[in-house]
Amino acid sequence: MGRVTAPSPIVPVPPADLPGTLGALRAAGHQYRTVKQELRDNLLARMRSGADRFPGIVGYDDTVLPEVERALLAGHDMVLLGERGQGKTRLIRSLAGLLDEWTPVIAGSVLNEHPLHPLTPASRALVAEAGDDLPVGWLHRSMRYGEKLATPDTSVGDLIGDVDPIRIAQGRTLGDPETIHFGLVPRTNRGIFAVNELPDLAERIQVALLNVLEERDIQVRGYQLRLPLDLFLVASANPDDYTNRGRIITPLKDRFGAEVRTHYPVDLELELALIRQEADLVAEVPEHVLEVLARFARAVRESPSVDPRSGVSARFAIAAAETVAAAALRRAGLLAGTSATAGPDDRPVRPENPVARVGDAVSVTSTLRGKVEFESGEEGREVEVLGHLLRTATAETFRARLAGLDLSGFTGLVDEDAVIETGELVSSAELLRQVGTVPGLAKVLDRLGLGDAPTPEQAAAGVEFVLEGLHLTRRLGKDVTDSGRTRYGGRA
């Protein structure tokens, strides 16, 4: 098999009407602004226009985002502190959208130097020599964002830079900036640089960032280069009491102007909104099933059996929704393959459309247990704990959705020792045939948001949810057969 390489990112092409020389740039009235001034001005412009300041960020409108906005308006570098899966990286990356869409640079400059504000001696000499004829390039805001995941093998050279021995061999002196191969931080000059999981960066490497944050210069192998870098530096970190692999050194923490604490969704609606936005579903998942999964994620997060310091990532609920959708797609595929789908009168049966049912959620207790860190006393009971929490979430959703409805028509289905079979490989048609006409079904489907004319698959999903809810509220019995079918019957 040939080696697969990642596709190259597409570099946006600047509009043809942008100034191409320094003289044309001046004539257009362009004013130099620092990165922090850009962020401040563009944030204020969006506030005044009512535009979305942080697209795709859910659940932080009244808590985290106001603090982030105050930090941006104050021109403070900041740290986002919070447990895993709280959207810290997503929020950091969204900051690039507040930069100007296009910004001028000295063509060929490694440090993205502004034509009106050159940094290095070579660039200053170039500007003085070329004058208004200096060629001007344009940099898109997507190219002004740099990011480094802090890992133990990260070096000062990676972040700041190092002496290039080839340039020394060419005759340059050690004190010449041209001898330096610049690292990620200076190469993101006039942009936003993010360090993810900052405490994982070795303390001696964190020291290298001290001057970048305060004095805005860099030091390489004892040589101090007076390069007034124009950066907005932002970092993410887990709480120190959980990480244990390191900490943010006190002098570096002191140089960040703002520390913003993130959190998980504060209520059920925000948890649901996050799942709807982020989950890539391969089949239809009805709202009541999504609600079960959202309640399940919140129950796991609050469970005393789960290590509270590690948190339960928002990715847990997202992956749960995707797993349930996949279970529905699997059922549709298997049913299509096993029935060849001919009915009792040899007429073809309509293929099953994939629609998730509450019973499909059982699979997440085993496939997603690796996403949760349990307390040491729960070793070996992980699936049992998750199963209990899933049943609790299902019962809470059942009560919230169907409270006050007369469900006696469903309990009457199993009178006189009758049973209703459902399960992973029971088709919608088979389940609905067993149920027949049930008094109150239309009201149930309406409460579940399945509409006035649900498909057979949607109706089957509603019926199974009611049967499971009646079992969990001790109004129906339940038995799971060796073949994987679930049988609902009377309490006896």
How far apart are alpha carbons 358 and 156 in whole angstroms? 52
| Res 279: pLDDT | 94
Amino acid (1-letter code) at residue 170: Q
Domains and their CATH numbers in the chain: 22-261 (3.40.50.300), 268-489 (no CATH)
Give me 469's structure tokens: 């809810």
In this prediction the pTM is 0.85
Token pair, residue 131, equals 């004058």
DSSP-derived letter for residue 269 is H
Amino acid at 412: G
**Identity of the residue numbered 202:** A
If you write DSSP's letter for every residue of 215-233 in order, what string do you get?
T--EEETTEEE-----EEE
What is the chain's percent helix, strand, coil content, to nearest 5?
45, 15, 40
Tell me what pLDDT residue 287 has: 96
Phi, psi of 471 (to 5 degrees): -65, -45
pLDDT of residue 85: 87
| Rounded Cα gap, residues 356 and 361, in angstroms | 9
Q: How far is CA 304 from CA 120, 308, 309, 386, in A?
A: 57, 8, 11, 12
All residues at 6 or more sequence positions from 188 whose CB lies less than 8 Å from its CB, including other chains: 112, 144, 145, 146, 231
What DSSP assignment string belongs to 202-217?
A: -HHHHGGGHHHHTT--
**132 contact partners, CB below 8 Å, separation of at least 6:** 21, 22, 23, 26
- C-alpha atoms less than 13 angstroms from C-alpha of 273 in its C-beta half-sphere: 12
CA distance 354 to 357: 10
Look up residue 417 and give its DSSP letter. Answer: G
* 443, 474 Cβ separation under 8 angstroms: no
Q: From CA 461, how far away is CA 135, in angstroms rounded? A: 65
- The answer to whether the beta carbons of residues 147 and 194 sit under 8 Å apart is yes
| CA atoms of 310 and 23, how far apart (whole Å) | 56
Are 424 and 484 in contact, with CB atoms under 8 Å apart?
yes
Tokens in use for 284? Answer: 């239809």
- How does strand 218-220 pair with strand 223-225? antiparallel
Give, for all 492 residues of the chain, the pLDDT tens digit.
444 444 445 778 888 899 999 999 999 999 999 999 999 999 999 999 999 999 989 999 999 999 999 999 999 999 999 988 899 999 999 999 999 999 999 998 889 999 999 988 889 999 999 999 999 999 999 999 999 988 888 888 888 887 776 666 666 665 566 777 788 998 999 999 999 988 888 888 888 888 788 776 676 666 666 778 899 999 999 875 444 457 888 888 888 999 999 999 999 999 999 999 999 999 999 999 999 999 999 999 999 999 887 888 889 999 999 999 999 999 999 988 765 444 445 555 678 899 999 999 998 998 998 889 888 888 888 899 999 999 999 999 999 999 999 999 998 888 877 899 998 889 999 999 998 888 889 999 999 998 788 999 999 999 999 999 999 999 999 888 877 789 998 765
C-alpha 461/C-alpha 484 separation (Å) is 17
> What number of residues does the chain have?
492
